[in-house]
Amino acid sequence: MIEDVLKTLSLTGEQSGAGNGSWLACTGELVESLSPIDGRTIGRVRSASKEDYESVSVAALRAFDTWKMVPAPKRGEIVRQIGNAFRAYKKELGALVSLEMGKIRAEGEGEVQEMIDMTDFAVGQSRMLYGLTMHSERPGHRMYEQWHPMGPVGVITAFNFPVAVWSWNAMIALVAGDTVIWKPSSKVPLCAIATMNIAWKVLKENGLPEGILSLVVGKHEIVGEALINDPKIPLISATGSVRMGRHIGQTVKARLGKALLELGGNNAIIVAPSANLQLAVRAILFGAVGTAGQRCTTTRRLIVHQSIYPALVETLLKAYSQVRIGNPLEESTLMGPLIDREAVESMQAALKRVGDEGGHILYGGKVLSGELFDAGTYVTPCICEVGPDLSIVKEETFAPILYLIRYGTIDEAIRYHNTVPQGLSSAIFTNDIREAEAFLSHRGSDCGIANVNIGTSGAEIGGAFGGEKDTGGGREAGSDAWKAYMRRQTCTINWSDDLPLAQGIHFETN
């Protein structure tokens, strides 16, 4: 099955890690793609050197001159065709996401569907690149704003969403008239290469030049630094850790470029006394266990009213005990592996700190062993009982650890919720309209996403995605997503025979 998927996606043999429509003869070191399912090498990629990156970036800049002059609705038509191409390979791409990243099959195909949905969304946006007309204070003048393509855009993505996050940026950037250079995580390079193979075919069939969509796989200190320091790249969109985001933000801002950052999440659900517990537990389970806790929107904290705490814990423990852990390609599996052994070690270190700081484990947290788990990447999802002020609770551990915290009043719950550095996704389960409105008010959730009676995970592309504080402040998708990828221009036209100045200023010579 693995061989069939790789063959269908043109991934047999050693792969090049750089290209702009055709693959370059890269000169960087060889990177092995290891499946977290069993530790097996599923592919080898020759990574890009700094010189390879320069070739790609020059081609992207050259292609921008052509692509920006294609009418936006026509650019949308190309994106529509790319979406249809992804539809044709949905099962194979979904299987590859599972193989290389470890998501269960349903989530792997769901991620590809997210790419497809994003192309559909972008097609609509291609006819909605609106400017405004304003009334000028000067007689005989017309004033309006318009938006222009920006240039080559750099997109840096993390391992946990190996294809979807690229599409959230790239499809909108394409309809905006930009070209795109993608640097994926070196942990999942095959997903990126397969995606490029599919998209490039569409561009070639339409007679478009190379360089509109490009890829560079390589070390962050080589390729990554070249990308974020490149003055040819006016915008860098980066998804990853807070530490990474701070470095990218400072570097890009130092050259007066723009940075769109989507960083860490430490997402919480408040469960109020009036909540539908059955509904809440379903959302908590998917939010905390889905993708083995490796989503930026993963539910990491559960803030529960003291009156329902025992009942919720009992129900949650029962639900966790029924989670089937194993090969993500098997239909009955609900949780696959962590991305690698380093992630497992990070989880174990966090759990040790929980004990050292006074919390205790109620369920799970074990590293699984045996014939089915030889890769050393499988763990049992973990529930911990903690106080709200533990330092470990304020950090994001990219693993299936759920921290349980008791509260007494809604104001106390909101305070606990907001007292972390991150601000991505949030939720409350309540049937009390006053509590729901308090949570959504100015004094409520300080996150970029706030939900009532649904969980923290599973964002729709129609809404702007991103967060506040250490999450970086960036937004992807949403009604005006295209504005992030274009430059704004204010225009004034004088159709009179006079030259009045603004603010009534008179400046005349005799």
**Residues catalogued as catalytic:** 262, 296
180-183 sheet: strands from edge to edge = 18-19, 213-216, 180-183, 153-156, 235-239, 258-262
Count helices and strands (H / E) in the chain. 14, 21
Give the tokens for residue 150.
């920006």
Burial of 341 (0-12, 13-18, 19+ CB in 10 A): middle
What is the CB neighbour count within 10 angstroms for residue 307? Answer: 11
Strands 141-149 and 133-134: antiparallel
In the block, which residue shows the tokens 């994001």? 396
CB 182 within 8 A of CB 492: no
CB 11 within 8 A of CB 97: no
CB 400 within 8 A of CB 381: yes
H-run or E-run covering 506: none
Phi–psi pair at 206, nearest 5 degrees: -95, 10
63/209 Cα distance (integer angstroms): 6
DSSP assignment of 160-186 equals: TSTTHHHHHHHHHHHHHT--EEEE--T
Q: How far apart are the first and last CA of the chain?
A: 87
306/272 Cα distance (integer angstroms): 9
DSSP structural state of residue 485: G
* Closest to 131 measured CA to CA, from 490, 477, 481: 490
